[in-house]
Structure formats: C-alpha cells, structure tokens
C-alpha cells in the first residue's frame, strides 16, 4: 500500500511539473501561438499582437530571419502602432557626466503576412506638436511603416493614416523583392508622398489585385490611388483598381494608380482601372500634362 501511495505521489509530481512547464511555454510563446513557419505561422489575433510584432521587428532575431504570420480575426480596436520604421535607441554617454547619445536606427518587416481577408482599423496620426522623435517614427506610416523583401496579402484596412510618407498597407518598400496582393485600403490617407496601398516604392516587386476606395490626399508632394511614388527598380502592377478621390500632389504628380515615376524607371502596369476623381493644381514640372493622369501622374515626357 505504501508503494502504491509513493507511485501516486510521484505521478502527481510529474504531472505538476508537466503542467508548470506547459504554462511557462505558453507564457513565453510569442503572439497568439504558432512557430512562424509556412505550415504553422505565428497567429495575430488582437491589437496587442500587432504591437508585439512592431516591437519584435526591432530585435536581431526577428529582423535577420524570415517569419510567417497569419491574422485570424478582425481587429477593430484602433491600431496606432506602426510595424517597421525609424526609431531612436539610447547609447552610453561618451564621458562621465555627459548625457546619453540617442542614435536613429531603422527596422523593417521582412516576413510574410497573410490577413486572410480580415479587417484592421488604423488610427495613425503624427502628433500635432511633433518632436524630432515623432517626426522620425511617423516618417513612414501605414499598417507597416517600412518593409523589405516581404510578402503581404489578403489585408483589409480602414480608419486613417496621417503622416509623412504614407500608405494604407505600407509606408515604403525597399529590398530586392516584394509582393503585395489582394489588399484593400478603406482608410483615409494624408501626408507628403501618399498612396492608397503604398506611399513610396524602391524595390523590384509586384502589386496585384489591390483596391483603394478612400480619399488619398497629398499636402504638397505626390499622390496615387495605389502607389504615391515609384522611384527605382522594376515595378509590376496588375489588376488594381482605384475608386477614391486623389487630391493635390501639385509638386509631384497625381495619378489614379501611380502618382509619380521618375525618368528611366522600369514599370509595367497591366489591366488597372481608375474611376476616382483626380484633383490637383497645374504645375511647372516637366512631367505629363499638369502632372495629372487617370493612371499615371508625373511620368517623364521625352
């Protein structure tokens, strides 16, 4: 009988250890679960998970590896965090008694994000009395601020983005490749270089099957229904639609699909449609006619 009791106590002790270990694992598990791999992506289920993602892309582990993420529900609790972009870190003072040094660094989202058609409400706005730290953080704004070698698909956003270089999905894109597909912007976009899907593009990549249905307003640079400015590398845009009002861009261009494309920049725009109203002041730029076009705004005339 004594041996049986000892075995029961031992089994209970082992079970308690297993339970404690599982609780610790769950507490340490990032996001809402998953492993960040193709068959088992990290789960994004609420605003806090998006904030966690914004923090994680600043860490060497996440910034140097390619992870997969999947949204599993609508997030209607207004998202104010930008995933990827510029920020400041504090470094030790050079001499005793001196203040610490603040150094500006940049982080990128460089993974795969599948929104699965779910809806995220954005509430991103540069503070009215912005400091240089705010100006840096909000210089690239959208659900994602800066992305590099990323795949983003099936994302729907609404709300508003009011910052410098802004897009509903991405502020700016860089790197050797990217793909954005099946994304919809229903957020009002306001800023300098602005686009319904992407603010500024500097990468080889593809945008396909994307839709903008809200107002995109430039405060003095360039505005496009899908992309504000395509600045370098080969860009392919396929099967995209703009129905929103595209405003201003009087210093750079206003286009239903792309606001401006500099000279000698490769691009291929196929089967895209603009039905939105374009509003801009004529300018003296040597681009297009008044820098306004149903598909392209500022495109070089040679």
**Residue-by-residue DSSP string for 63-105:** HTS--EEEE-S-EEEEE---BSEEEEEEE--SSTTSPPEEEEE
Query: What pLDDT does 89 receive?
Result: 73
Query: What pLDDT does 285 receive?
Result: 46
Among 142, 295, 267, 297, CA closest to 205:
267
Pairwise CA distance, residues 152 & 167, whole Å: 13
Query: What pLDDT does 116 receive?
Result: 97
For 292, what's the count of Cα atoms within 13 Å in the CB-facing half-sphere? 14
Q: 184 has which bridge partners?
A: 156, 211
For residue 48, report the phi and psi dihedrals to the nearest 5 degrees.
-65, -35
Pairwise CA distance, residues 197 & 178, whole Å: 13
Among 75, 79, 39, 36, CA closest to 59:
36
Pairwise CA distance, residues 126 & 283, whole Å: 28
Query: What pLDDT does 204 receive?
Result: 84
Mean pLDDT per 10-residue segment, the chain (302 residues): 52 41 50 94 96 90 85 95 83 78 84 97 85 72 93 97 92 90 97 92 88 92 88 85 84 81 74 88 44 52 39
Q: 224 has which bridge partners?
A: 195, 255
Host H or E run for residue 238: strand 235-238
Query: What pLDDT does 167 receive?
Result: 95
Question: Looking at the domain 36-298, which fold is it?
Answer: Pectate Lyase C-like (2.160.20)
Query: What pLDDT does 290 receive?
Result: 33
Query: What pLDDT does 124 receive?
Result: 93
């Amino acid at each position: 009988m004594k041996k049986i009791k000892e075995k029961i106590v031992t089994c209970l002790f082992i079970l308690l250890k297993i339970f404690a270990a599982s609780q610790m694992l769950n507490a340490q598990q990032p996001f809402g679960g998953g492993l960040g791999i193709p068959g088992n992506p990290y789960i994004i289920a609420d605003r806090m998970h998006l904030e966690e993602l914004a923090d994680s892309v600043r860490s060497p582990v996440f910034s140097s590896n390619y992870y997969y993420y999947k949204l599993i529900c609508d997030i209607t609790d207004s998202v104010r965090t930008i995933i990827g972009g510029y920020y400041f870190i504090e470094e030790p003072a050079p001499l005793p008694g001196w203040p610490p040094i603040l150094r500006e660094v940049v982080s990128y989202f460089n993974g795969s994000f599948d929104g699965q058609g779910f809806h995220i409400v954005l509430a991103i706005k540069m503070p009215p009395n912005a400091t240089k730290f705010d100006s840096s953080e909000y210089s690239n704004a959208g659900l994602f601020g800066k992305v590099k070698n990323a795949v983003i698909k099936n994302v729907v956003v609404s709300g508003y983005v009011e910052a410098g270089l802004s897009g509903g999905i991405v502020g700016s894109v860089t790197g050797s490749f990217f793909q954005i597909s099946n994304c919809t912007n229903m957020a009002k976009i306001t800023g300098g270089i602005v686009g319904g899907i992407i603010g500024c593009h500097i990468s080889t990549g593809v945008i396909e099957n994307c839709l903008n249905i809200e107002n995109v307003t430039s405060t003095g640079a360039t505005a496009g229904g899908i992309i504000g400015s395509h600045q370098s590398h080969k860009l392919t845009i396929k099967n995209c639609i703009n129905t929103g009002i595209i405003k201003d861009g009087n210093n750079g261009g206003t286009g239903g699909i792309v606001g401006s494309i500099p000279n000698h920049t490769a691009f291929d725009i196929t089967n895209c449609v603009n039905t939105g109203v374009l509003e801009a002041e004529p300018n003296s730029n040597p681009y297009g006619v008044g820098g306004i076009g149903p598909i392209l705004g500022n495109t070089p005339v040679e």
